[in-house]
Amino acid sequence: MTVELICVGTELLLGNIVNTNAAFISEKCAMLGLSMYYQSVVGDNAGRLEHLLRTAKERSDVIILSGGLGPTQDDLTKETAAEVMGRKLVEDERAKKEIKDCLAKLGRTITENNWKQSLVPEGSTVLYNSNGTAPGIIMEDGDTRMILLPGPPNELVPMFEEQVYPYLRDLQPEMICSRMVKLCGIGESAAETKILDLLSAQKNPTVAPYAKTGEVHLRITAKAENEKKALAMIEPVEEELRQRFGNHVYTDDPEVTLEMAAAELLKERKLTVTTAESCTGGLLAGRLVNVPGISDYFKEGYITYSNEAKEKLLGVSHETLEAYGAVSSQTAAEMAEGGAKAAGADLCVSVTGIAGPEGGTKEKPVGLVYVGCYCKGKVFTEKRLYSGSRSKIREYSVANALTFLRKIILEETKG
């Protein structure tokens, strides 16, 4: 069964707001196994919306619209959709009452155009709105279903979850399940090369790679008559991916991030960590602190942007800074060791590099970054060279530092 999404709103075409409704609805539809092939955004223009609706009606089973259900003259989604579905608009008593109550609660005076929102296409299912004055609508015409939802996310989200999701689930003959296998420490091309055979052979289940900053995510998706069978189809594929990528796989849980995976290892092995950052300037610690409850494993971190701070807070030796410079494996190593000592932590990850745009030399170009990791008496360092903007170099440095931390824990400590 195919679904198509049409978001109505000039503010989207002008880029005033980011279309979070599209991501929300798309994810829910994917979970339901509905195949979404098209998303569109149009302004509050009856002609273009009508044309788009007629096209959608030809090619999709379910058409979901968001926005344009307001009380003003330029809100025409309902009028246009009713026209395309050949319905008259009739007043809905309950909707009228709820609009009255809602506006009274908000202490707003009711104006004539408010009653526009109590009109619904005849023979449609009304989705009453507990968070606003615009009711949603479901219209059915043979195998075609049109679902109208209000634009504001705080109205659309609960209406979708409480009334639309169950409706769509009951339409589904097949169950779709997907699992995300997340990799770190390997690039998109290298990752794909390892599974070219799987990618070319695939039908059901399918594997799709997504490149993220310093990560590659592989989504396995299977369709079957029920969840049990879909999961049974996914299992062997995931097993194969784990075989091929080994320790590069850090999770198969869509909710788990790289920092959460690292934190989980700290928890499992009862280790504490601290951070000693130069060019990343706190972003590494900032990502660790994304993890709720990290305070048990991460107590403090150091941002040592100047050489003086590296000496003062981390005890990096003046001689090392003089001889090798702040951006060197020697400094990264001393930062890591000194940080661990200062914080009394089992581990310390350090990052020092040249994020640019200035400060690069022939020997030490912009993008040169050293990461260090102290772990129980030993120090490890790694050299990287990134291209791109200052912020990109810093983001990749952070992802790489988390990957390096995870690698050292796996290799140097016992599970």
Pair 43, 14: CB distance under 8 Å: no
* Contact flag: residue 15 with a copy of itself (CB under 8 A): yes
Residue whose CB is less far from a copy of itself, 223 or 394: 394
Give whole-number Cα distances, 340 to 8, 201, 274, 300, in Å: 54, 49, 6, 10
Q: Which regions of 305-408 does DSSP assign to beta strands (E)?
A: 347-353, 368-375, 378-385
Amino acid identity, position 270: K
Using alpha carbons only, how large is the chain's radius of gyration in Å?
28
Q: How far apart are CA 315 and CA 73, in angstroms?
A: 68
Binders of a copy of itself among residues 297 to 336 (CB under 8 A) are 298-306, 308-309, 312-313
**How many residues are listed for the chain in this entry?**
415
* Contact flag: residue 16 with a copy of itself (CB under 8 A): yes
Residue whose CB is less far from a copy of itself, 227 or 300: 300
Minimum separation from the CB atom of position 38 to a copy of itself (A): 6
**DSSP readout, 86-148?**
T--EEE-HHHHHHHHHHHHHTTPPP-GGGGGGGEEETTPEEE--TTSS--EEEEEETTEEEEE
Partners of 2 in beta bridges: 35
Query: In terms of Cα–Cα distance, which of 327, 328, 255, 240 is closest to 290?
Result: 255
Minimum separation from the CB atom of position 77 to a copy of itself (A): 15
* Contact flag: residue 367 with a copy of itself (CB under 8 A): yes
Residue whose CB is less far from a copy of itself, 10 or 140: 10
* Contact flag: residue 23 with a copy of itself (CB under 8 A): yes
Minimum separation from the CB atom of position 249 to a copy of itself (A): 18
Residue whose CB is less far from a copy of itself, 97 or 378: 97
* Contact flag: residue 243 with a copy of itself (CB under 8 A): no
Burial tier of 60 (Cβ tally within 10 Å: 0-12, 13-18, 19+): buried
* Contact flag: residue 1 with a copy of itself (CB under 8 A): no
Minimum separation from the CB atom of position 391 to a copy of itself (A): 7
* Contact flag: residue 144 with a copy of itself (CB under 8 A): no
* Contact flag: residue 215 with a copy of itself (CB under 8 A): no
Judged by CB under 8 A, the stretch of 89-97, 137-145, 151-159, 223-231 that binds a copy of itself is: 151-159
* Contact flag: residue 397 with a copy of itself (CB under 8 A): no
Judged by CB under 8 A, the stretch of 89-97, 235-243, 293-301, 372-380 that binds a copy of itself is: 293-301
CA 111 to chain centre: 41
Phi and psi at 152, nearest 5°, equal: -60, 125
* Contact flag: residue 211 with a copy of itself (CB under 8 A): yes
Question: For residue 52, what are its two tokens?
Answer: 């788009």
* Contact flag: residue 400 with a copy of itself (CB under 8 A): no
Judged by CB under 8 A, the stretch of 86-94, 184-192, 260-268, 403-411 that binds a copy of itself is: 184-192
- Is the bond preceding residue 205 a cis peptide, omega within 30 degrees? yes
Applying CB under 8 A, which of residues 88, 91, 161, 208 lies at the interface with a copy of itself? 208
Judged by CB under 8 A, the stretch of 61-69, 79-87, 262-270, 383-391 that binds a copy of itself is: 383-391
Pair 182, 252: CB distance under 8 Å: yes
Applying CB under 8 A, which of residues 45, 317, 329, 413 lies at the interface with a copy of itself? 45
Residues sharing a CB contact under 8 Å with residue 97, sequence separation 6 or more, in sequence order:
none
Residues sharing a CB contact under 8 Å with residue 14, sequence separation 6 or more, in sequence order:
none
* Contact flag: residue 277 with a copy of itself (CB under 8 A): yes
Q: Which residue has the tokens 């408010």?
A: 114
Pair 36, 2: CB distance under 8 Å: yes
* Contact flag: residue 113 with a copy of itself (CB under 8 A): yes
Phi and psi at 258, nearest 5°, equal: -60, -40
* Contact flag: residue 187 with a copy of itself (CB under 8 A): yes
Applying CB under 8 A, which of residues 210, 239, 247, 323 lies at the interface with a copy of itself? 210
Judged by CB under 8 A, the stretch of 80-88, 111-119, 238-246, 333-341 that binds a copy of itself is: 111-119
Binders of a copy of itself among residues 58 to 87 (CB under 8 A) are 70-74
Query: In terms of Cα–Cα distance, which of 262, 246, 183, 275 is closest to 220?
Result: 183
Applying CB under 8 A, which of residues 86, 93, 107, 377 lies at the interface with a copy of itself? 107
Minimum separation from the CB atom of position 302 to a copy of itself (A): 7
Minimum separation from the CB atom of position 223 to a copy of itself (A): 14
